[in-house]
Amino acid sequence: MCSRGSKIRKGRESGFTLLEALAGLVLVAVAAGAIADAIVGILKRSYVTIEVTRVSDESERFAAAFTQAGKSATSWAVYSDRAAYLADPVGNVSVQGNALVFQDQLPTGTKIIEMFEYDPVAQTLSRYENSLSQPRSLLNKVVPTKDRTTVFGQDLGLVQAHWTVQSPYELMDFEAYGNPLRMR
Amino acid sequence: MNLKSSLGRKMLAPVFPRSRQLGGFALLDPLVGILVFASVMAGAINLWRLAEYKCACARIDARVAQILRENADYVTYVAYDLLPADGTQPRSGFLLHPLDRDTGRYKDIYPFTVTAAVTTTGAGTPAEAKQIILTLSYNTAPDPQAADSPLQTIRTNVLERVKD
């Protein structure tokens, strides 16, 4: 009796059986899968938030540059596009368009040209300073805001821009206003 | 013989605990381990979810600040005669437009309105001026179910315009 009892006891204390270990592994795998799914979801949403914030900040900086240019400009004009501006900067001035040119003058007399341009084909909104070939800043996936056909416009002397960024995660509307010349 | 048998007992004595050590974990050991692991994971995930919620709040705050900045710029620069009248809503819409993966369309969430409170002083005189306060109200849920109102209200400082 004593010998048989000790054998049984020893057998019970020899660890898990294969079935128990497999059941444990399945449970752990299910739990790990659920946790991993939750973590991946959280990471994805964090990435989306970071991307949306980055795109939003870019447009905010663009709007700030627009307002700042409007504050210091000695003159500005809206054109239908870049070609219209280059062809005749005086005669082709428009009420609405996809090119906006601010002109500023330093105390030394040096003129500074700052152009904001929307390209409807490439769907880009860019800002140029002096050189019209190299943009200082560029926004991608931009379209005019709903119910508008162009990005820039003027209304009784108030120069303004309305654009929408179509990011893969969120649609973002932006507006910017420039200081009218008569308020200087 | 006596000495040998007593030594033999001493030598055999540690054998029983050793067989216990080789017997694997007790049922309680992995249960405690799982409990600790589950507690840590629950805490970590809740912390992460809180951070995510704070990120969403920050995103809404940034959008609210952006809309108020845009409207404040408009009120600051627009022609005096085009200033919004008292009680009007210069702008309304939705704060965020996230993409709905199922439909492939952008959703409209968190409706908002911007209301102008305009006080005119010296009306009809050369010193006529207007003090304007913009109030942005938004709902964090389009269809509030909770007893407490999710309506949030943000006001700007007084914006003053003088009729030239």
Domain boundaries in chain A?
Answer: 40-183
Give the mean pLDDT of B115-123.
Answer: 93
Is B115 among the domain residues? yes
Confidence of residue A2 (pLDDT cuts 50, 70, 90): very low
CA distances from A76 to A62, A104, A112, B85 (A): 17, 9, 12, 29
- The answer to whether the Cα torsion of B16, B22, B28, B29 is positive or negative is positive
pLDDT at B7 over 50: no
B4, part of any domain = no
Q: Which two tokens stand for residue A22?
A: 């497999």
* Domain contains B19: no
Structure tokens at B134: 């913009």
Question: Is B29 domain-assigned?
Answer: yes
Query: What's the structural domain count of chain B?
Result: 1
Is residue A138 within 8 A of residue A126, CB to CB? The reply is yes
Mean pLDDT in chain A? Answer: 87
**pTM confidence score:** 0.77
Alpha carbon distance B41, B123 (integer Å): 66
Q: Is the pLDDT reported for residue B152 higher than 90?
A: no
Q: Is the pLDDT of residue B21 over 60?
A: no
Given pLDDT bands bounded at 50, 70 and 90, which one contains residue A160? Answer: very high
Q: What is the model's pLDDT at position B22?
A: 58
Q: What is residue A130's predicted lDDT score, i.e. its pLDDT?
A: 85
Is residue B18 in some structural domain? no
In a domain, B65, yes or no: yes
A63 CB-near residues (< 8 Å, 6+ apart): A161, A174, A175, A176, B70
Cβ pairs bridging A and B (under 8 Å): 86
**What local confidence, expressed as pLDDT, does residue B144 receive?**
46
CA distance B112 to B114: 7
The residues, ordered by sequence, that sit 6+ positions from A16 with a Cβ below 8 Å of its Cβ are A24, B24, B25
Please name the amino acid found at residue B22.
L
Q: Is B49 on the interface with A (CB under 8 A)?
A: yes
ipTM > 0.90, yes or no: no
Contact between B70 and A39 using a beta-carbon 8 Å cutoff = no
* Residue B129: both structure tokens together: 């001026």
Residues A125 and A151: beta-carbon distance below 8 Å: yes
Amino acid at B37: F
Check the CA dihedral A141-A150-A125-A51 and report its sign.
negative
Cβ A160 vs Cβ A147: under 8 Å: no
Alpha-carbon distance B130 to A15, whole Å?
A: 84
Over residues A10-14, the mean pLDDT reads 55
Candidates B97, B100, B108, partner chain A, best to mutate (most A CBs within 10 A): B97
In tens, the pLDDT along B39-88 reads 998 898 888 888 888 888 888 889 999 999 999 999 988 888 889 999 99
Give a yes or no: residue B12 inside a domain. Answer: no
| CA pair distance B102, A98, nearest whole angstrom | 34
Residue B144, domain member (yes or no): yes
Question: In this predicted structure, what is the pLDDT of residue A162?
Answer: 95
Length of chain A: 184
The answer to whether A13 contacts B52, with C-beta atoms less than 8 Å apart, is no
CB contact (8 A) between residue B24 and residue A16: yes
Of A52, A168, A171, the CB nearest to B59: A52
